[in-house]
Copies of this chain bind each other. A is one copy, B any other.
Amino acid sequence: MNIKDAAEASGLPAKTIRYYEEIGLVSPARAANGYRDFGAREAAKLGFLARARSLGFSIDDCRALLSLYEDRERASADVKRLAEERLGEIDRKIAELEALKVTLSDLVHRCHGDDRPDCPILTDLAGPEGRA
């Protein structure tokens, strides 16, 4: 399986797959002509990586997940811990964005949005001195 087919099968761009090899996430075999040759195992790892990345796991997380995935003796507790940490990050990020949204939408609602130069968004961004 050449890189293009591996890309189509996994949904990852070929460039990304080469990058993943460079950083040691996958190690495809090489054909006589120097082309990468992906077997079932490496192709499956690419799919695994694509899914884990789409769930927001960092490359380092993926490295850990992959070694757990490859390890027949792995403990599911390790995997669960990683996933829970990731869940915590997601919650924190959502809370942060919600707070941002409140502030910004308040600003937007207070802005008349016509062609007058007076704008509460800018006044607010200018800080205390700007408002004084």
Q: List chain A positions with a Cβ less than 8 A from chain B.
A: 44, 47-48, 51-52, 55-56, 65, 68-69, 72-77, 79-81, 83-84, 86-87, 90-91, 93-94, 97-98, 100-101, 103-105, 107-108, 111-119, 121-122, 124-127, 129-130
Contacts and interface: CB of A to CB of B under 8 A. Distances in A.
A100 B104 contact: no
Nearest to A111: B80
A121 B76 CA distance: 8
A65 B112 CA distance: 17
24 contacts: A44-B126, A44-B127, A48-B125, A48-B127, A55-B100, A55-B104, A56-B100, A69-B125, A74-B119, A75-B115, A76-B111, A76-B118, A76-B121, A77-B113, A77-B115, A79-B121, A80-B108, A80-B119, A83-B111, A83-B121, A87-B101, A87-B108, A94-B94, A97-B97
